[in-house]
Homo-oligomer: A and B are copies of this chain.
């Protein structure tokens, strides 16, 4: 019997370290050539499996694969594509089985968030029913840090480091100028449902008066009066006010803050995000000169300032996923377990995909200060280890040199797929 092949796919929004997980998967599979044939990567994630567009990673040199460890974003392409339920779209699952069978794929490693783990779990079940059992292992990934069970998600530590570093630096800038110029600075960060990223920015404030002075979380309903009072008191006390706002910051009625200014009575579209909205509100109510920034993709692709801890963990979950598969585990995902000691330590554990799928972990209330505008010491203790260490990529000509893959596709064996 020919050695079974492995299929790896990246899913959903990418991160600074998802390729480090890919590196862990491929290097570990290569170290077990006796048991695993080829590692195929889906071109643009699971869509690549449907289209039978399988990148043959054996065509990539060892040094290229090693370089994935320090390359941000999804080197094989990712996608926003959620498989429907089997009942709703049986055809898609049949197609996946056909492709896997045609290419002797017996291992499916899915690198994504909660949705993706749900898909991996379904495929595992269906493959059993079909009599072509596929070992399905999840590989956790999300900047949002909202997966349950695992202590944290690979991808989060690096975006956390980026936002903490950025608000520290921009805060110093505003502090320099506030006597005669800008008094308020608003930085918008990602996290539409959970405030983990916004919270991590709070690490920048280590001493009284340090930026950020205010954090707006999705978990805390926005109170305009209280907020403006806090802005005013910060400007009085420190000369300026640095604010971090989560893109998911919400009004008491649950609508997004930015949507309030989303369209005026005449239906004109609001072009800005929540940062310009908040900045403008302050200008209108308190008159302070402001600046604002929206980091957007810059934050989740910022491999140049990645957390070394995050990179290690991202690699480790990729490695563990292959090891799990070889040990005969199925429908599980490697997770990060935090050691109990005072000094931070972590090890790899496992969680059932069924327990991970479609569950969102929010910031606990006790991680947020009483007034709702900052993080607590408990939150600091949680966040701090995750941004430890710098893992700088190699540079050439002054800019990071990231892996450039051949992405050579395996010859197709099936008829073309048409999405219904």
A interface list, Cβ under 8 A from B: 10, 13-14, 16, 44-45, 47, 71-75, 77-81, 161, 164-166, 168-170, 172-177, 179-181, 185, 187, 203-204, 206-207, 261, 264, 266, 268-273, 275-277, 279-280, 291-298, 300-305, 307, 384, 386-390, 392, 395, 397-400, 402, 404
Given known pairs A161-B399, A293-B296, A392-B390, the reply for A74 and B176 (CB within 8 Å) is: yes
CB neighbours of A79 from chain B (8 A): 177, 179-181
The distance in angstroms between the C-alpha atoms of A264 and B271, with both chains bound, is 12
The distance in angstroms between the C-alpha atoms of A187 and B161, with both chains bound, is 21
- Besides A77-B179, A170-B301, A261-B271, 8 more A-B contacts (Cβ < 8 Å) are A14-B177, A71-B172, A81-B180, A169-B304, A172-B402, A203-B398, A268-B268, A271-B272
The distance in angstroms between the C-alpha atoms of A75 and B172, with both chains bound, is 8
> What's the nearest-Cβ distance from chain B to residue A264, in Å?
6
CB neighbours of A264 from chain B (8 A): 264, 266, 268
CB neighbours of A47 from chain B (8 A): 179-180
Q: Are B301 and A172 in touch, CB under 8 angstroms?
A: yes
A-B contact pairs, 17 of them (CB 8 A): A73-B175, A74-B176, A80-B181, A166-B302, A169-B298, A169-B302, A169-B303, A187-B298, A206-B399, A266-B266, A293-B294, A293-B295, A295-B298, A384-B398, A386-B398, A387-B397, A389-B398
Q: Are A298 and B293 in touch, CB under 8 angstroms?
A: yes
> What's the nearest-Cβ distance from chain B to residue A311, in Å?
13
The distance in angstroms between the C-alpha atoms of A74 and B180, with both chains bound, is 13
The distance in angstroms between the C-alpha atoms of A16 and B176, with both chains bound, is 12
Q: Are B177 and A13 in touch, CB under 8 angstroms?
A: yes
The distance in angstroms between the C-alpha atoms of A1 and B72, with both chains bound, is 62
Chain B residue with Cβ nearest A385: B398
The distance in angstroms between the C-alpha atoms of A277 and B47, with both chains bound, is 32
CB neighbours of A168 from chain B (8 A): 399-400, 402
> What's the nearest-Cβ distance from chain B to residue A343, in Å?
14
4 tightest A-B CB contacts, nearest first = A272-B272, A74-B176, A387-B398, A73-B172
Chain B residue with Cβ nearest A75: B176
Q: Are B266 and A271 in touch, CB under 8 angstroms?
A: no
Q: Are A397 and B169 in touch, CB under 8 angstroms?
A: no
Chain B residue with Cβ nearest A188: B294
The distance in angstroms between the C-alpha atoms of A387 and B396, with both chains bound, is 10
Q: Are B298 and A72 in touch, CB under 8 angstroms?
A: no
Q: Are B398 and A169 in touch, CB under 8 angstroms?
A: no
CB neighbours of A179 from chain B (8 A): 44, 47, 77, 79
Chain B residue with Cβ nearest A203: B399
Q: Are A297 and B301 in touch, CB under 8 angstroms?
A: no
Given known pairs A203-B397, A272-B276, A384-B397, the reply for A297 and B73 (CB within 8 Å) is: no
The distance in angstroms between the C-alpha atoms of A292 and B296, with both chains bound, is 7
Chain B residue with Cβ nearest A390: B395
Contact of A388 among B296, B302, B398 (CB under 8 A): B398
Q: Are A77 and B176 in touch, CB under 8 angstroms?
A: yes
CB neighbours of A395 from chain B (8 A): 390
Chain B residue with Cβ nearest A167: B298
Contact of A399 among B204, B298, B398 (CB under 8 A): B204
The distance in angstroms between the C-alpha atoms of A176 and B176, with both chains bound, is 38
Q: Among A77, A264, A279, find the residue whose CB has the most chain B CB atoms closer than 10 A.
A: A77
The distance in angstroms between the C-alpha atoms of A73 and B297, with both chains bound, is 24
Given known pairs A270-B271, A276-B273, A297-B185, the reply for A78 and B177 (CB within 8 Å) is: yes
> What's the nearest-Cβ distance from chain B to residue A56, in Å?
19
